[in-house]
Amino acid sequence: MDIAASWPVPPQALPDIYPAKIGDLMMSAYGEVLGRQKFTLVLQQAGLEISGNTVPDLPFGTPARIYQALEEIYGEQTTRGICLRSGRVMFRRGLQAFSGILGLSHRGFRLLPPAQKVLRGMDLLAWTLNHYSDQRVRVEKHGHEVLLINERCPHCWEITRSSACCQVPVGALQEGLAWACSARQYTVEEITCRAKGDPSCTFRVRSKSSD
């Protein structure tokens, strides 16, 4: 097993919040996918009130509360689709917000071979989530698979489901891979989920070819 370049994890620097910098990306992604009016109803259903246009620091479980509210309104299948699309939008918006900080637009990153780009990109994603929120994310490489492992996933925080339910990160990874590697040559699947009792949410990225 190779372990991707490791980044320092700040010890409880931001306890139990889902910070505005990332919350704003998530809220605007849902707003774009659902439309403002429908998303306002979802927020009401979730018991969340956000006044004005500025998203504040949010309680850590906010993404899970929104997921539950979506399920109550739209049912499980439709909610999965909404979350997948919102994750894709969230990645695109995140790229605008973070690519300068992370050096993703540098020639050095753009010129890496696809497999290294995937590993480096996922490592940067893990660093961003660890640095800007109270998530605990690491990346592991096993042969042609790369795993993103989140021990404190806010998307299923304190909810119980019979199957894996964190589609927002799946969508974000799909969009990231399409952006970084230009061809849709990878599959993304959530293979363990805290909502069904696993110790972490694990997202598996697998190359369709064996290069």
Residues forming the site for Zn ion (CB under 5 A): 153, 155-156, 166, 201
Angle at 164 between CA 81 and CA 30, to 5 degrees: 35
Residue nearest to Zn ion (CB): 153
Considering the complex, what minimum distance in angstroms separates the CB of residue 2 from Zn ion? 24
First to last CA, the chain: 18
Residue number, 147 or 153, with CB nearest to Zn ion? 153
Using DSSP's 3-state secondary structure scheme, residue 146 falls into strand
DSSP string, 155-200: TSTT---SS---HHHHHHHHHHHHHHHSS--EEEEEEE-GGGT-SS
Report in angstroms how near the CB of residue 52 gets to Zn ion at its nearest: 29
> If DSSP codes are grouped into helix, strand and coil, which group holds residue 34?
helix
Tokens (6 digits) for 145 = 């698979």
Instruction: Report, in Å, the least distance between residue 198 CB and Zn ion.
Output: 9
- Our CB check for Zn ion shows the closer of 92 and 196 to be 196
State in angstroms the smallest separation of the CB of 41 from Zn ion: 24
